[in-house]
Amino acid sequence: MWTRWNPDGSTAIVTGASSGVGYQFCRLVTSKGCRVVAVARRADKLEQLLHDCPKGSVRLVPGDITLGQTCDSAIQTVQDWSGDQLDLLVNNAGIGAIGPFIDASPDRLRRIMEVNFFAATEWTRRCLPSLLRGQNPVVCHVGSVLGHCGVPNKSEYCASKFALHGWHDAICAELRGTVLRSTLVSPSTTRSEFFDSLIDSDPAQRSVSVGSWPPEKVARAMFHAIVRRRREVVCSVGGKALVWADRIFPGITHRILSRTSK
């Protein structure tokens, strides 16, 4: 039976809730009656949510998502709040870097994989028992169009988002026959703090993109994908065009991409 996720009365965990897409998503779902456990490292930024969301709708768990204790605290907060029923997990936190692979330290790839891929898989693993007790539950992963099409100078980021995409595809098949659905949302360039917090990157390096969305718009697209329990959504016309061009004309697409990166 096709059933929708209903924000009203639901409980959610959102990682990367201190800025950008995660912050706006928390504002949106709490305005529709959802209770949110908001996770990120910057406690001062998270506290802003207490002013921007309806009273009592947000609980904060400041911490690094790559540490097991942060995930334990988030799950404990859900248990205290809703008796161990989790209706939504949003694996949104992410980091990136710009610059050629050959110039980067091995640490750059490991750090990006830890946050963008391993943390998402571990949070899903640990939240599964609570999610399986949820009401039409959803685990939503924020990927990227760069998880569909590899571009130069962002090899580590592309690798992390491709890994997330492949893992999500496999998990979707494994979850058939359970109440839980996995949703992958793939934004293209978003006007958030993302490019201010690039790791191990030359500040002179720039990101080339066609059009960009504000984080509020990405949050709305995510919300609609989650409510409909969609398997996959690629945001923006430019994002869709890149994904399809890469599938249909991979040679031409890669030639154009390598020219624009010079």
Ligand X SMILES: NC(=O)c1ccc[n+]([C@@H]2O[C@H](COP(=O)([O-])OP(=O)(O)OC[C@H]3O[C@@H](n4cnc5c(N)ncnc54)[C@H](OP(=O)(O)O)[C@@H]3O)[C@@H](O)[C@H]2O)c1
- Give the binding site for ligand X (CB under 6 A): 15-22, 40-42, 45, 64-66, 92-95, 115, 142, 144, 187, 189-190, 192-194, 197, 215
Nearest approach, Cβ of residue 2 and ligand X (Å): 28
Cβ 3 to ligand X shortest distance, Å:
27
DSSP string covering 83-134, please? SS---EEEE-------S-GGGS-HHHHHHHHIIIIIHHHHHHHHHHHHHTTS
In terms of CB distance, is 66 or 136 closer to ligand X? 66
Q: Least separation, in Å, of the C-beta of 195 and ligand X?
A: 7
Q: What are the percentages of helix, strand and coil residues in the chain, rounded to 5?
A: 50, 15, 35
CA-to-CA distance for 7 and 224, rounded, in angstroms?
Answer: 11
Nearer to ligand X, 78 or 140 (CB): 140
Least distance between ligand X and beta carbon 141 (Å): 8
Q: How far is the CB of 160 from ligand X (least distance, A)?
A: 8
Q: Per DSSP, what are the bridge partners of residue 140?
A: 90, 183
Exposure of 255 by Cβ count < 10 A (0-12 exposed, 13-18 middle, 19+ buried)? exposed
Is the CB of 89 or the CB of 115 nearer to ligand X? 115
If the CB atoms of residues 134 and 215 are measured against ligand X, the closer one turns out to be: 215
Number of residues assigned to the chain: 262
* Cα 135 → chain centroid: 21
Residue closer to ligand X (CB basis): 94 or 137: 94
